[in-house]
Amino acid sequence: MGLPGAGLLMRDGEEILLPQEIFRKIVDHCRSLRPEEACGLVAADGSGRAVEVLPVANSLHSPVRYQMETREQFDAMKRIRREGWSLFAIFHSHPLSEPAPSPTDIRQAFYPEAYMIIVGLEKEPPVVRGFVVEDGRARELPLRTVSDTIS
Amino acid sequence: MSVVVRIPTPLRKLTGNQGEVREEGKTVREILDGLESHYPGIRERLTDESGELRRFINIYLNEEDIRFAEGLDTTVKAGDEVSIIPAIAGGSR
């Protein structure tokens, strides 16, 4: 829907920075829907800082597959555009397995400008990893939480 | 009938990196015809061999999913916005 990719701007540093509040919201949402896979979008502001988590329903309600509910995905992307944000990341959970991109995740990664964040809920605490998908391959990037205070 | 068509990132290499283009047509199908004539190769990314919308492609006319209207035969009018939105999906298996 014409969302510029903040992710591209931040790849020089080769790490994904998530404010603690954003990190917590992602993990809490994924935990709340376990054992189903949860999913959603993360928006960034004009400076490329992740500023909002937009959960989207998994229309498949499956522990091993997800597809964003079409209307909610449309509304979330519209909100990102209208707020002047950009699509920073797409997240989903793996309730029963390691947080590594599956062949399905890579095949269906239609938004290469966004980071892919996967929350592994197999263990406590959850393991959160981040990737970029380029040319049909996923490459892991360091994912680090940062203070919520904008410096 | 000129409408704005929002192009998702993966298809922008076909539209010269434009995120929005204008097309003429009376239906969504005619809009897609226009896209194909200006940006060859884009149609096969959106529709299958039988001409139907691919499973992972959603098209919205303004606020409505065309699957819940007349599909590709949904009529458009001047000033409408057509958004092409690949579904976001995946999973551990």
Q: Which tens digits make up the pLDDT trace of B55-64?
A: 999 999 999 9
Q: How far apart are CA A116 and CA B84, in angstroms?
A: 21
Helix (H, G, I), strand (E, B) or coil at A94: strand
Predicted confidence at residue A13, as pLDDT, reads 61
The string of pLDDT tens digits covering residues A78-119 is 999 999 999 999 999 999 999 999 998 998 888 888 999 999
Q: What's the CATH code of the domain at A141? A: 3.40.140.10
Cβ atoms of B73 and B28 closer than 8 Å:
yes
> Across the interface, do A66 and B89 touch by the CB < 8 Å criterion?
yes
**pLDDT(B20) > 70:** yes
ipTM summary value: 0.86
What's the domain range around A133?
6-146
Q: Which residues of A touch B10 (CB under 8 A)?
A: 110-112
Please count the structural domains in chain B: 1
What is residue A6's predicted lDDT score, i.e. its pLDDT?
45
Q: Write out the residue range of the structural domain in which residue B65 sits.
A: 2-86
Identify the residue among B46, B62, B68, B88 best suited for mutation to test binding to A, counting A beta carbons within 10 A and taking the highest.
Answer: B88
Domain CATH number, residue B57: 3.10.20.30
What pLDDT score was predicted for residue A150?
Answer: 58
pTM of the model: 0.88
Find the mean pLDDT for residues B5-20: 94
Give me the residues of chain A with pLDDT under 70, please: 1-13, 149-151
Neighbours of B82 (CB within 10 A): 23
How many domains does the structure of chain A reveal? Answer: 1
For residue B57, tell me if it sits in a domain.
yes
B91–A110 CB contact, under 8 Å: no
CB atoms within 10 A of CB A80: 22
pLDDT value of position B54: 94
- Closest-CA residue of B relative to A107 is B90
- Tokens (6 digits) for B4: 């704005």
pLDDT recorded at residue A108: 85
Q: What is the mean pLDDT of residues B57-79?
A: 96
Q: Evaluate whether residue A1 is within a structural domain.
A: no
Which distant-in-sequence residues (6+ apart) come within 8 Å of B65 by Cβ?
Answer: A70, A71, A74, B58, B59
